[in-house]
Amino acid sequence: MNKHGSNGYDKLPNERTHLLNHDSPSVASGVNEDPRIFEPPDKKKARWRSIRIMYLTMFLSSVTFTITMASLWPYLELVDREASADFFGWIVAGYSIGQLVASPLFGFWSNRFDTTRWPLLLSIGINIIANIMYAYIESFPDTRQYYLLLARGLVGFGAGNVAVVRSYVAGATTNEERTGVMANVSICQSVGFILGPAFQAALVPLGYPGPISKLEFHLDLYTAPAFLSAIAGFINILLLVTLFKETRVTELTTLSVQGGDSESMNANCENKPDYFAVICSIMIFFVVLFIFTIFETIGSPLTMDMYGWSKKKATLYQGIILVGAGCEAIVVSLLLKKIAKR
C-alpha cells in the first residue's frame, strides 16, 4: 500500500482486457477481416494462391472463346467451300450449346462430391483435345464443316467450367472479400476477351498456308491460335495439379469460433438466398450474352461482304474491333468494383 492508498496493482496492465482485444497480434495476424474467423498465415497464403489460379483459369477460358472468333468464318470457307453462312450460325451456336450442356453437369459434379479440381481438370482436358482437333480440320478427308462444328462444340463443353470457377471463388472468400474478388474474376474474363482477338491479330502475319503446311501439321494464322490455346491449357492443368489447394471459408470458422459467436455465424449461414435477385442476375447475364452473340455471328461475314475485305483483313480488323469492345468491358468492371465499395 503506497501513500495514495493504492496497493500498486492498479497500475499494472489489465491482462484480461489486453488478451481479449482484437488488436492482439496473436489473433489479428490470422483474422481475415471477420474477427470471428481465425486463419493461419499458411492457409491464407494457400487460399489466395488457389483464388489466383481461378483468375488464370477464367482468363484462359475467355481467351479460348475469343481467340478464333475473328477467323472462324474465313477458316470455315477455307476448309469446306460447300459450307454456307447458315451452317456458320450452327458452328457459332455449337460453342454455346456445349457450354449449356456442360455447365450444369460440372456444377452438379462439383457440388455433389465437394470437389473443384477434378471437374476443372476434365473440362480443360476436353478443351485441349478440341483445340487440337480444330487445328487439324484440314487433315480430315471430307465433310470438314461437321468436324469444325464438333470441335467448337467440344470447346464450349470445356468452357462449362466457368460455373465451377465462380462457385469456388464465392465459397473461398469472406463476405467482405467476395465483391472485390468476383469483380476481379470478371476483369480477368474481360482481359481474356481482349487478348484473345489481340493474339489472333498478332498471328495474322503468319499468313496462309503459313510457315509449315504438311498433312501431319499445319501452322498458319488459322491454326496457330488453337495450338496456343492447347499449350495454355497444359499450363493450367499443371498449376491445378501442383499448386491448387481447395479451401472453403466455412472450414476456417471451426478453428476459432466458440459459444455465442458460433451460434450467430450458424444463423447467418442459414439465411435463405434471395431467389428473385438471383433470377434477375441470370436474366441480365443472358441478355448481355445474347447481344454479344450478334457480333460473334455476323461480324466477319458482314464486314467481308460490305467492305470487300479479304479473309486475312477481316481476321485482323475484326480482332481489333473485339479488342476495343473488351477494353470497354474492363472499364465497366472497374467502375462497378468502385461503386460496390460505397
Q: What is the DSSP string of 114-159?
A: T-SHHHHHHHHHHHHHHHHHHHTGGGSSS-HHHHHHHHHHHHHHHG
Is residue 20 domain-resident?
A: no
Is residue 196 domain-resident?
A: yes
Query: For the chain, what is the mean pLDDT?
Result: 80
DSSP structural state of residue 271: P
pLDDT confidence of 282, banded at 50, 70, 90? confident
Which of 198, 191, 175 shows the shortest CA–CA distance to 69? 198
- In the chain, the percentage of residues whose pLDDT exceeds 70 is 79
Supply 40's cell numbers: 493461419
Supply 26's cell numbers: 496473436
Is residue 11 domain-resident?
A: no
Phi-psi category of 19—alpha, beta or left, where left has phi over 0 and alpha has psi -120 to 50?
A: alpha
Stated pTM of the model: 0.75
Is residue 30 domain-resident?
A: no
For the chain, the residue count is: 342
Supply 310's cell numbers: 479479304
Query: Which residues share a beta bridge with 219?
Result: 212
Here the CATH number for the domain that contains residue 222 is 1.20.1250.20
Asked if residues 216 and 54 have their Cβ atoms less than 8 Å apart, the reply is: no
Arithmetic mean of pLDDT, 58-80: 88
Is residue 139 domain-resident?
A: yes
pLDDT for 252: 56
Tell me the three state secondary structure of residue 12. Answer: coil
Arithmetic mean of pLDDT, 242-267: 62
Q: Which domain holds residue 162?
A: 36-249+276-341
Is residue 63 domain-resident?
A: yes
Is residue 214 domain-resident?
A: yes
In the chain, the number of structural domains is: 1
pLDDT confidence of 236, banded at 50, 70, 90? very high
The more confidently predicted of residues 8 and 226 is 226
For residue 109, pLDDT beyond 80: yes
Is residue 54 domain-resident?
A: yes
